Amino acid sequence: MHPDGNLVVTTEPEIGLANELDLDAYFSRVGLPTAPPLDEEGLRVLQQAQFFNIPFENFDIQLGRGIDLAPEALVAKLVHRQRGGYCFELNGLMLMVLCELGFQARPLLARVHLGGEISGRTHQMSLVELAGRSWLVDVGFGAGGLRCPLPMEMGHSEEGPGWAFRLVEHETWGIMMQTRTGQEWRDSYSFDLLVVAAADIALGNHYTSTAPMNKFVTTRIASLPRATGRVSLRNDVLIEVGPQGKSQRKIPAGGGYLDILKSVFGIDLDAQYTDLRVLTPE
């Protein structure tokens, strides 16, 4: 770490990437007319395009299909079938695109601190080095996650209408990403800069998608950010947060539930409602 508090990051080998990533199809999927430039503004444009257009969701787990992180599977699901995914999928795709475009990027893994017991290293993000600065890029923490790349500079915050994020040093957990709620900064996840191997990601993905008590196994989840808020689905409750506050309503079972997935989140399941795991009381 430099005396000024900025982190020094070394280049490490890349995780395997897809050889047949269709960038034109990806740009169409995220609403970009062309490739962004390889600079800080281009990185911001790319991160926000995917964040606002590909939903966070775990419905393949709820259908008992599991999560395939093979590059060709990620492209087929998130780009061509226009589905969403969770962190290992969303940030896996983002890492592929970053590297394909020519950004210098590699994966990181984090522990989640959102109340209760601290998780293992079950959240994936990307570290990008650009023009002498390092950036945290994360499109896989749900609609409440980073809304723009975050400089790897301790204490620096990125802020906008209703949101703020920063990184701070933590004596136990390394680097902590915090989110401001009202006037209070709250811990979201912690991480370090150790090299991440493909096996690390495979282990985290397997646990997160199969452990019986993990929330992604027990709970149906979907979320999508909006310019000034978010919309989320937790089991059968649709939650909308915006300038006027927060509202929620219960979604009935059956075809209407699938209609909400399609109309609100753009998720078109090739399945019947009865194929989903039965909801359990929370």
Q: Please indicate whether residue 206 is annotated as part of the active site.
A: no
Tokens found for residue 262: 């399609």
Domain ranges, residue 66: 23-218
Assess if residue 246 is contained within a domain. Answer: no
Name residue, tokens 């359990």: 280
Q: Evaluate if residue 1 carries a pLDDT over 50.
A: no
Q: What is the mean pLDDT of residues 177-204?
A: 95
How many domains is the chain partitioned into structurally? 1
Q: Please indicate whether residue 138 is annotated as part of the active site.
A: yes
28: closest CA among 91, 75, 89? 75
**Residues paired with residue 108 on neighbouring β-strands, in sequence order:** 125
Assess if residue 242 is contained within a domain. Answer: no
CATH of the domain at 186: 3.30.2140.20
Q: Please indicate whether residue 123 is annotated as part of the active site.
A: yes
Higher pLDDT, 237 or 10: 237
- Name the active-site residue from 99, 123, 148, 187: 123
Name residue, tokens 């194929």: 275
| Confidence at 188, pLDDT banded by 50, 70, 90 | very high
Identity at 239, one-letter amino acid code: I
Q: What is residue 282's predicted lDDT score, i.e. its pLDDT?
A: 66
Query: In this predicted model, what pLDDT tens digit does every residue of 34-51 receive, in sequence order?
Result: 999 999 999 999 999 999
Assess if residue 113 is contained within a domain. Answer: yes
One-letter-per-residue 3-state SS of 38-66: CCHHHHHHHHHHHHHHCCEECHHHHCCCC
Q: Evaluate if residue 172 carries a pLDDT over 60.
A: yes
Assess if residue 171 is contained within a domain. Answer: yes
- Name the active-site residue from 87, 113, 148, 187: 87
Cα distance between residue 91 and residue 136, in whole Å: 11
**Residues paired with residue 104 on neighbouring β-strands, in sequence order:** 129
Assess if residue 55 is contained within a domain. Answer: yes
DSSP per residue, 129-197: EETTEEEEE-S-S-TTS-SS-EESBTT-EEEETTEEEEEEEETTTEEEEEEEETTEEEEEEEE------
Assess if residue 270 is contained within a domain. Answer: no
Distance of CA 234 to the CA centre of its chain: 17
CA angle 49–162–282, rounded 5-degree value? 85
Assess if residue 265 is contained within a domain. Answer: no
Assess if residue 172 is contained within a domain. Answer: yes
Q: What is residue 280's predicted lDDT score, i.e. its pLDDT?
A: 77
- Name the active-site residue from 60, 99, 113, 138: 138
Predicted model pTM: 0.92
Q: Evaluate if residue 265 carries a pLDDT over 50.
A: yes
Q: What is residue 244's predicted lDDT score, i.e. its pLDDT?
A: 85
